[in-house]
């Protein structure tokens, strides 16, 4: 992974830093948790999507990928990346902060960040469990 192209986003930069030096792993995870992500979904009651942004109040189902340890959901840190990946699919999407998504996901699920790009990265269910446990509510002082 040392042959990564030039980073386009803060998440790309954080991932590249973590690959180059493991001491930046927590920086990558923190960046991910604070990133607004785009997730392809299917609106309940529809056969195919129209590439519309849904809200969390809409009823929808995530788009699942087969993963060696079960199922994973794809997420993207740029709308154009999701559009490029999903050219042959007809889906809708939600936009959400990653830390909020982790609260909604089934604990057995994995997440594939930016699939089909040079900055693709898999967060296994075990890693996501650790991230969930490390998230603590912050109160203003």
**Closest alpha carbon to 89 in 99, 106, 102, 76:** 76
The CATH number of 36-132, from 3.40.1350, 1.10.1200, 2.60.40, 3.40.50, is 3.40.1350
138: pLDDT strictly greater than 60: no
Per-residue pLDDT of 16-29, as tens digits, reads: 999 999 999 999 99
Per-residue pLDDT of 67-126, as tens digits, reads: 777 889 999 999 999 999 988 888 999 999 999 999 999 999 999 999 999 999 999 999
State how far the Cα of 141 lies from the Cα of 122, in Å rounded to an integer: 35
Per the CB < 8 A criterion, the answer to whether 50 and 86 are in contact is no
State how far the Cα of 115 lies from the Cα of 72, in Å rounded to an integer: 11
Domain-wise residue ranges, the chain: 36-132
How far apart are the two ends of the chain, measured CA to CA in Å? Answer: 41
């Amino acid at each position: 992974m040392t042959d990564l192209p030039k980073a386009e986003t803060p998440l790309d930069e954080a991932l590249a830093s973590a690959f180059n030096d493991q001491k930046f792993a927590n920086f990558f995870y923190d960046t991910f948790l604070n990133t607004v992500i785009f997730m392809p979904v299917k609106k309940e009651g529809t056969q195919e999507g129209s590439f519309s942004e849904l809200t969390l109040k809409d009823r929808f189902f995530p788009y699942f990928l087969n993963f060696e340890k079960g199922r994973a959901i794809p997420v993207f840190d740029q709308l154009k990346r999701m559009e490029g990946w999903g050219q042959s699919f007809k889906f809708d999407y939600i936009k959400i902060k990653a830390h909020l998504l982790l609260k909604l996901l089934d604990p057995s699920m994995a997440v594939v960040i930016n699939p089909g790009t040079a900055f693709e990265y898999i967060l296994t269910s075990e890693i996501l469990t650790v991230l969930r446990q490390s998230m603590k509510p912050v109160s203003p002082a």
